[in-house]
Amino acid sequence: MHLREYLWKHKITIEEFAKSIGYNRHHISRVMKGEKKPGKGLANLIEKATNGEVKAEQLLQAKGWGSE
C-alpha cells in the first residue's frame, strides 16, 4: 500500500502523520510526491507507524515513492 492510500484510508492528514513520526508536513509531502527519496530510517519509521501497511522496502525501491 502506498502512503497516500494509507492516509486516505485512515482519514489522516499529511500534517497529522508527519507530526506523529517527528517530521514536518513538507518533508513527508515531498516523499509522497517522489521529489525526495526517504532514507532507511524514515522508511522504517513509516512502516512501523503504519503497522506494516506501508512497507519500507516499497518506499525505498519505488519510483514516485509514495503516490503511485
Alpha-carbon distance 1 to 52, whole Å?
Answer: 9
Report whether pLDDT(67) > 50.
no
pLDDT at 61: 84
Q: Are the C-beta atoms of residues 54 and 62 closer than 8 Å to each other?
A: no
Question: pLDDT class for 62, splitting at 50, 70, 90?
Answer: low
Q: Is 67 domain-assigned?
A: no
* Pair 35, 28: CB distance under 8 Å: no
- In a domain? residue 53: yes
Largest separation between any pair of C-alpha atoms in the chain: 26
What CATH number is given to the structural domain containing 10?
Answer: 1.10.260
Number of domains in the chain: 1
Q: Is the pLDDT of residue 53 over 70?
A: yes
Judge whether 10 lies within some domain: yes
Q: What is the pLDDT of residue 34?
A: 86
Beta strands in 1-68 (DSSP E): none
pLDDT of residue 45: 98
Q: Is residue 15 part of a domain?
A: yes
Q: What residues make up the domain containing 7? A: 3-61
